Structure 1
Amino acid sequence: MLGACSSDEGSGGLGFGFGNEDAVEQGDLRSTIPYEVELVGIDAQESDLLSALEAVSTARRLQSRPTASRAGLQRRAEDDIERFQAVLRSNGFYDGQITFDIQEKPVVPQSGNENTELSENADAGDATSDTANGAASEDAVSPADTPTPLVLTYNIDTGAPYLISSVDLVIVRPDETIERPATDEELVRTRLQIGQRATAQPIILAEQYGVDVLKDQGYPLVKSTKRTVMADTARKTISIKYAFETGPAANFGAVTVNGAEQVDQDFIAGYRSWDPGEQYSPEEVRTTRRDLAQTNLFDSVIVKVAGPVGENGEIPVEINVVERKMRSIGGGLDFSTAEGPGGNAFWEHRNLFGAGERLRLGMDVSSLEQGVSAEFKKPQFLERKQSFVADAHAKNNDTDAYKGSTIDSFVGIERPLGENWSASLGVTAEYSDLTGSDSPNEEFYLAGLRGILRHDNTDNPLDPTKGTRFEINVSPYMGLTDQDTGFTSVSLAGSQYLSVDKDGDYVFAARARTGTIIGEERGSLPSNKRYYSGGGGSIRGYEYQKVGPLDDDHDPLGGRSVLEVGFEFRARVTESFGIVPFVEGGNVYARSEPEDISLLWAAGLGFRYYTAVGPLRFDVALPLDKRDNVDDDFQLYISLGQAF
């Protein structure tokens, strides 16, 4: 502490600072000695070590404040020796030797002609000038007055690095003390390996990892007490001994909720992932905190044990929350040359009855469809993490494939099935009154089941850079007024994202979709239940629903099976802009299985402007299999979020 707080050169005289060299102005070259610093002897592969040495060097740090004497520079170097020794030890070099040397920097002589000319000028002109003015200027600095720069060279011999030879644990429990070597599993958990270099950071971090290991065994109040590191200079090894006091083992006790004002406390406590009386586990604490944070009801969630272990062997748990605003509104705009301008708006309440019930009302308007929707979700329904879901949609349709109105509704259960998997199952009822090219003025009343299995481990819903999405949808329908009507729709869709670099600026993305309808011929199916392809959400470059069978007027008929594929390379060129070349292909078939695998292909180039909520997308696509009198030369698409 004293060394760090004192000046580098000290003070002279009687101690009043008259001799303090730091008081000399830096610009006075007659009072300070500039110097350079060199570190030699470090292996070229030890670049991190060299950077650490330079970072702690006092001589390097104060190089812009030259010393007033060689002795001052020597004191800086002596101070660095201790700092360098600490850095070497922290990097596993316990036998390092450091010396330093201070020499004058070699002066490069000037050419003889220049010296002669200067000498002649000095003899003739300067002498006359001094005589004329009566005296030479005292502020003039001659080469003889300028001190010769110094070179401070540190010679560093690191020696052989020390290796970890053993890791032992001293575990003090309320009823016993155990001293033993760490198991292979414990070494993995603490990120240590026998034989690795004995650097400081992994050794220090391993102590906290050891605390986590014991917490996983049911000791919520465990703490580390003493870490002992012994060096064997003969074998060049380090032995480490960690000591822990576990405190009593505990089970989960009562849960207290703090900070809840609008959200029901029992609802919040119901998010605990453990059963009452279950052995304490920090993983369950983390799971509960994560699940509560994902409800979008809170700005902050803290889950922690509170207080000592009770006589019953249970430890209480506190859940501290800060609620967020429960209502929100939003909307968006999009445009494509095939579908024209479109927009959507929504209003959402995330805590309708005080237990996280979410109600979302929406409206979508475009030249092809106009509709309203309502979605309701009640979490923690009957079981933890199980939700009751219901939705309804009413639309007016005016597409080339069909015109008229549709109403559909769904009521069911949604729940997770392991990590990144979820499923929903329920009943649906639908009404349609549509006019199509091969189904004029037909009404359908349908009832059915809907089962969906999903997998999603992507990192961003609007702009994923890694992970996979996968969905299987099976929906059997039957007619309510026409008992002979019955069919089953099965579809599979998925996408894959692979980042080329660690920052996710360059991403390969691919998608595929296939589907089939079993049980009815195409002419007996409601027009809106058939498969269609083409447009911004499927195959860019072709008009909306125009890929597949067409009638004599080039209007789409739809089909009983579909196949689509797409590939993109997403390159984020700058922080705000990116380009996306893409290729997509697909087709729709009249039968429930494709007659062949012939696809209509399209290619294009997209531009992205990255915003806080997601990328703004602008795509230009060309049909590679352009059909006469059917397809345009190109299509444009503008919307928010990636294409898939």
Structure 2
Amino acid sequence: MNRGKRYSRKSRLRGIGVVSVLLMGSAVSGCSGDGVLSEFGFGKDSDSAAQDVLGVQIPYQVKIEGIDPQEEKLINALREVSTSIRLQSRPTPSLAGLERRAEDDVERFETVLRAFGFYDGQVAFNIRKAEPDDPTISDDENGGDGDDVVSATSEPAAGAPAGGEQPDPVDLIYQVDVKQPYLLSEVKFSIVRPDHTTKREATDEELERSNLHLGQRAAADPIILAEQYAVDIMRDRGYPLVEAGKRTVIANTTEKTISVTYELITGAQANFGKVNVKGAESVDEDFIAGYRSWKPGQKYSPEEVKTTRRDLAQSNLFDSVIVKPVGPVAENGEIPVEIEVHERKHRTIGGGVDFSTADGPGANAFWENRNLFGAGERLRLGIEGSGQSQGLEAAFRKPQFLKRRQALVADASAKSYSTDAYDGELVESFVGIERKFGDYWSVTLGPTAEYSDLTGADSPNEQFYLGGLRGVLRRDSTDNPLDPTEGNRLEFNLSPYTSLSGPSAQFTSVSFNGSQYFAFDEDGDYVLAGRGRAGMIIGEDRSDLPANKRFYSGGGGSVRGYEYQKVGPIDEDGDPLGGRSVLEAGIEFRARLTESFGIVPFIEGGNVFEASDPEDLDLLWAAGLGFRYYTAVGPLRFDVAVPLDKRDNVDDDFQIYLSLGQAF
């Protein structure tokens, strides 16, 4: 076989520095001993993929050799820009056409190499007869030496068998020599202020915030992204109108290093000025402006702008919120801020259903107005009915009460209960102040009052009139209220009570609830979730406590596998007695197998104790398997659980639960 042509292409810019088109968005400058970096574009697709009249095509495979397999991103980038790979399903009618594709790829590949910091990288290619798929076939049987380089003739199907048969397949092999990578040796800022310009090296803090460090490979992406980080740094320093100017990149071909200078045109430093509101219809503009997290005249900070936007978005009053400075900076050094909102509907009607084998079906409905008086006041009225309770409830919340991030909250309910633990009527009310602090924390404090007329096991069976104080400390860093995949929820509750009339009772209830969520993947399809609960009552014996103020455990929101309130002490009739302390723990693994379906194996344990400080902390355990059907609102939950510590004549063989949302 005739020895064909081997094509080799060297970098056109050896001896002077080169840089990727991805690196260069601006002109660059050079200096003695350094190379001036030029811009590069992608080559055009030079092959028309036209087929000859006889329809002869040369099938081929593409191989990229010479790159460390650990450079997965580089290899993938080369394959993504390759013309020969993109058009592989449309083979050329001649080797010359395939060669043109390869020549185009050489330019593309060298551009990618520069983008990854290999500025001296070289690419060559050759075309060889393909290796036989069957290693038992000899070279003679396969038509000759498979290592021969194929002739690059321009004749269609050169060397093809007679009679219109298709030619043998070939391998297009790219040999990539990445050479020594260039390293980042210097990062400078050229800060152009209205009255003067300062040129200096970036500080260690600025490098860290820009996600750069000296000595790293001088790849394009981090160098380009660092420019926006540099702009953000100047905004944090009170320059709201800062812009990126000319970016200069210089290569030292002797030292194999890259130096970058970012030009930052700051404009004037500014303080927060007047707040203007656009788009408000039924929501009061002054109320919206009151969400600003900064004080008048405070130095401009993008973090404060971000906080204000987040708080407005979480108010549930708007479909969209934009908070931005609108220049120019006034003579007094202040810059106006514009808050543009698009209101959403403020009234909602909804409801839900649930079911368990022990409690039977349940349903609830509600009506809500989130802008009752024009300043984000939320009123929610609800009704519920099940085999355990029936009644009405109401909740009111006035945000921005007296000061920012503070709300006036109130709730009340009037219900009739019929459970194994107690029967009768209960009316409760609460008014308090909720104060948020930090990103995830809140505290609620206020007086509470209630009236109860309940009959239960080991109960005084008398009417109680209680007054007290409710104090709640909460943390919620979860990402979804109905289906959390990361973060945690913590709640500490301290509530002292005293009798206002009727039987004498003075006691304090203390409880702690917590849950934690760990996602094993970025999409949150596999989540390990755990929960715990502990509580105690100090001040009265169990028999002197109102039945509804005791602790109970068991059921769909507690220890699944046991009936509602049935975990803990029971009387001779099998009715729950409740207790003065409680301990619960549970863990489950949530696996979303498809877009709509998932499974959840779980195990839970708990118990209620008569004493506030029990000596024996044995728990009753249960295990089960849940199924989830994911909807736009949240997951539909179907759980089956069995008691592992089943008590004769008390516990059923299994329990079934159906509701919306995860168990915790």
Q: TM-score, normalised by structure 1?
A: 0.89
Which residue matches 1:83? 108
Which residue matches 1:96? 121
Which structure has more relative contact order (CA 8 Å, sep 6+)? It is 2
Which residue matches 2:34? none
Cα 1:143–1:386, aligned 2, differ >3 Å: closer, same or farther? Answer: same
Q: Distance in 2 between matches of 1:2 and 1:45?
A: 26
1:235-250 alignment runs, 5 A limit: 235-250=255-270
| Gaps in structure 1 of 5+ consecutive residues | 10-20, 116-139
Cα 1:420–1:141, aligned 2, differ >3 Å: closer, same or farther? Answer: same
Q: Is the 8 A contact 1:97 1:157 kept in 2?
A: yes
Q: Distance in 2 between matches of 1:26 and 1:80?
A: 27
Q: Distance in 1 between matches of 2:164 and 2:516?
A: 74
Partner deviation per Cα, 1:117-156 (whole Å, 9 max, x = no partner): xxxxxxxxxxxxxxxxxxxxxxx99447755555433222
1:80-229 alignment runs, 5 A limit: 80-103=105-128, 142-143=162-163, 146-147=166-167, 149-229=169-249
**1:43 offset after TM fit, Å?**
2.0
Q: Distance in 2 between matches of 1:168 and 1:535?
A: 64
Which residue matches 1:279? 299
Is 1:57 the counterpart of 2:82 in the alignment?
Answer: yes
What amino acid does structure 2 have at the position aligned with 1:414? E
Which residue matches 1:47? 72
Which one of 487, 511, 522 corresponds to residue 542 of structure 2?
522
Is 1:330 the counterpart of 2:350 in the alignment?
Answer: yes
Q: Distance in 1 between matches of 2:456 and 2:131?
A: 94
Instruction: Point out the structure with max Rg over C-alpha.
Output: 1
Q: Distance in 2 between matches of 1:493 and 1:145?
A: 77
Aligned residue for 2:462, secondary structure, equals strand
**1:525 offset after TM fit, Å?**
1.3
**1:275 offset after TM fit, Å?**
0.6
Q: Distance in 1 between matches of 2:41 and 2:531?
A: 64
Which residue matches 1:120? none
Cα 1:147–1:261, aligned 2, differ >3 Å: closer, same or farther? Answer: same
What amino acid does structure 1 have at the position aligned with 2:187? V
What amino acid does structure 2 have at the position aligned with 1:203? I
**1:585 offset after TM fit, Å?**
1.7
Between Structure 1 and Structure 2, how many residues are aligned?
Answer: 607
Aligned residue for 1:439, secondary structure, equals coil
Q: Is the 8 A contact 2:270 2:333 kept in 1?
A: yes
Aligned residue for 1:361, secondary structure, equals strand
Of 375-384 and 151-160, the range deviating more from structure 2: 151-160
**1:501 offset after TM fit, Å?**
3.0
Partner deviation per Cα, 1:220-244 (whole Å, 9 max, x = no partner): 0111111111111111111111111
Of 141-150 and 160-169, the range deviating more from structure 2: 141-150
Cα 1:144–1:580, aligned 2, differ >3 Å: closer, same or farther? Answer: closer
Of 560-569 and 471-480, the range deviating more from structure 2: 560-569
Partner deviation per Cα, 1:480-525 (whole Å, 9 max, x = no partner): 1148421111111111222233332222222111111111222221
Cα 1:150–1:484, aligned 2, differ >3 Å: closer, same or farther? Answer: closer
Aligned residue for 2:111, secondary structure, equals helix
Which one of 540, 553, 569 corresponds to residue 589 of structure 2?
569
Which one of 46, 53, 63 corresponds to residue 8 of structure 1?
46
**1:571 offset after TM fit, Å?**
2.2
**1:329 offset after TM fit, Å?**
1.1
Q: Is the 8 A contact 1:223 1:245 kept in 2?
A: yes
Q: Is the 8 A contact 1:397 1:403 kept in 2?
A: yes
Aligned residue for 1:249, secondary structure, equals coil
Which one of 310, 315, 332 corresponds to residue 312 of structure 1?
332
Q: Distance in 1 between matches of 2:607 and 2:141?
A: 87
Going by fraction, where is helix more abundant, 1 or 2? 1
Q: Distance in 2 between matches of 1:360 and 1:217?
A: 44
Which one of 226, 249, 253 corresponds to residue 233 of structure 1?
253
Is 1:260 the counterpart of 2:280 in the alignment?
Answer: yes
Aligned residue for 2:110, secondary structure, equals helix
Q: Is the 8 A contact 1:377 1:387 kept in 2?
A: yes
**1:286 offset after TM fit, Å?**
0.7
1:513-552 alignment runs, 5 A limit: 513-552=533-572
Q: Is the 8 A contact 1:498 1:508 kept in 2?
A: yes
Cα 1:469–1:36, aligned 2, differ >3 Å: closer, same or farther? Answer: closer
What amino acid does structure 1 have at the position aligned with 2:371? N
Q: Distance in 2 between matches of 1:105 and 1:628?
A: 76
Q: Is the 8 A contact 1:562 1:594 kept in 2?
A: no
Which residue matches 2:462? 442
What amino acid does structure 2 have at the position aligned with 1:234? T
Partner deviation per Cα, 1:196-238 (whole Å, 9 max, x = no partner): 1111000000001100000000000111111111111111111
Partner deviation per Cα, 1:391-421 (whole Å, 9 max, x = no partner): 0000001112111101000000001122211
Partner deviation per Cα, 1:304-342 (whole Å, 9 max, x = no partner): 111200001011111111111111111111111111111
Cα 1:440–1:518, aligned 2, differ >3 Å: closer, same or farther? Answer: closer
Which residue matches 2:419? 399
Cα 1:337–1:60, aligned 2, differ >3 Å: closer, same or farther? Answer: closer
Q: Distance in 1 between matches of 2:88 and 2:391?
A: 72
Partner deviation per Cα, 1:167-222 (whole Å, 9 max, x = no partner): 11111111221111111110111111111111100000000110000000000011
Is 1:28 the counterpart of 2:55 in the alignment?
Answer: yes
1:575-594 alignment runs, 5 A limit: 575-594=595-614
Aligned residue for 2:102, secondary structure, equals helix
% same residue? 66
Is 1:490 the counterpart of 2:510 in the alignment?
Answer: yes
Cα 1:584–1:152, aligned 2, differ >3 Å: closer, same or farther? Answer: closer
Partner deviation per Cα, 1:421-470 (whole Å, 9 max, x = no partner): 11100001100111123335411111111000011112221122222211
Aligned residue for 1:205, secondary structure, equals helix
Cα 1:457–1:150, aligned 2, differ >3 Å: closer, same or farther? Answer: same
Aligned residue for 2:96, secondary structure, equals helix
Cα 1:27–1:579, aligned 2, differ >3 Å: closer, same or farther? Answer: farther
Which residue matches 1:342? 362
Aligned residue for 1:43, secondary structure, equals coil
Cα 1:447–1:85, aligned 2, differ >3 Å: closer, same or farther? Answer: same
What amino acid does structure 2 have at the position aligned with 1:37? V
Cα 1:447–1:243, aligned 2, differ >3 Å: closer, same or farther? Answer: same
Which residue matches 2:10? none
Q: Distance in 1 between matches of 2:662 and 2:132?
A: 64
Which residue matches 2:150? none
Q: Is the 8 A contact 2:55 2:93 kept in 1?
A: no
**1:56 offset after TM fit, Å?**
1.6
Q: Distance in 1 between matches of 2:450 and 2:370?
A: 27
Cα 1:95–1:547, aligned 2, differ >3 Å: closer, same or farther? Answer: same
What amino acid does structure 2 have at the position aligned with 1:590? E
What amino acid does structure 2 have at the position aligned with 1:221? L
**1:26 offset after TM fit, Å?**
7.6
Of 41-50 and 631-640, the range deviating more from structure 2: 41-50
Aligned residue for 2:501, secondary structure, equals coil
Q: Is the 8 A contact 1:589 1:595 kept in 2?
A: no
Q: Distance in 1 between matches of 2:140 and 2:273?
A: 92
Of 238-247 and 60-69, the range deviating more from structure 2: 60-69
**1:62 offset after TM fit, Å?**
2.9
| Gaps in structure 2 of 5+ consecutive residues | 1-38, 144-159
Q: TM-score, normalised by structure 2?
A: 0.87
Aligned residue for 1:206, secondary structure, equals helix
Which one of 367, 382, 406 corresponds to residue 387 of structure 2?
367
Of 583-592 and 175-184, the range deviating more from structure 2: 583-592
1:349-498 alignment runs, 5 A limit: 349-439=369-459, 441-482=461-502, 484-498=504-518
Q: Distance in 2 between matches of 1:603 and 1:309?
A: 64
Q: Is the 8 A contact 2:50 2:92 kept in 1?
A: no
Which residue matches 2:15? none
Q: Is the 8 A contact 1:26 1:66 kept in 2?
A: no
